[in-house]
Amino acid sequence: MISDTLPEQLSANRFIDAKEEISGPLDPQDYKRFGEMATLVSGAKVALRGFREPYGSKLIVGELQAEAQMTCQRCLKPVTVVLESSIRWGLVFSESEMQDVEKDLDPILVEEGQIPLRQAIEDELVLLLPIMPIHESCKSEWISDSETIDISENKSPFAVLAALKNEQGF
């Protein structure tokens, strides 16, 4: 099912049991928390499919593709960041079940039979954001810690203080 806007919530059992699919664009207005950190560029989209594994786990898998506008932390100019992710959610119906979810799945808590779809998508978007967004050109200007700088020519600040002390006769 292709939708113009994704629903706030999905009926967990219906989506999983019917092996439904849903895809559509992400409306930046629906993701306020994400909007405080970055600006979602139009054209972002998600595609999700629900199913039950043979041994009973309920899963939602899919793809998330988006671009976000952030501020480069080196030059303070706008930088566009590509956000792409393969989604693998394991549905749980209580907090105690979260510990039993397979390691390669992210647990999504189903409350009152509903999957908080937009909230889960927003969580994925937030987790994809870089901690320190920078332009590729700004990366090349950075001196890494492994590069050594010859400081033998520079005078020690303590040597300067010692010279002042000697000049004043202390």
- φ, ψ dihedrals at 26, nearest 5°: -100, 120
Query: Is the torsion defined by CA of 132, 136, 138, 139 positive or negative?
Result: positive
Structural domain range at position 24: 10-144
The answer to whether position 68 is within a domain reads yes
67 sits in which H/E element:
strand 58-71
Euclidean distance between CA atoms 57 and 77, whole angstroms: 46
SS3 helix, strand, coil % of the chain, rounded to 5? 25, 30, 40
Domain membership of residue 170 (yes or no) is no
104 occurs within a structural domain: yes
DSSP state, residue 97: G
Tens of pLDDT, residue by residue over 3-27, are: 677 899 999 989 998 999 999 999 9
Residue type, 16: I
pLDDT digits (tens, 9 = 90+) for 120-163: 999 999 999 999 999 988 876 555 555 555 555 566 777 777 77
Beta bridge partners of 92: 109
| Domain annotation covers residue 66 | yes
Least confident range from 40-44, 91-95, 155-159: namely 155-159
**Tally of domains within the chain:** 1
Digit-coded pLDDT (tens) for 55-83: 878 999 999 999 999 999 999 999 999 99
Q: Does some domain include residue 2?
A: no
Q: Which of 72, 48, 14, 13 is nearest to 124 (CA)?
A: 48
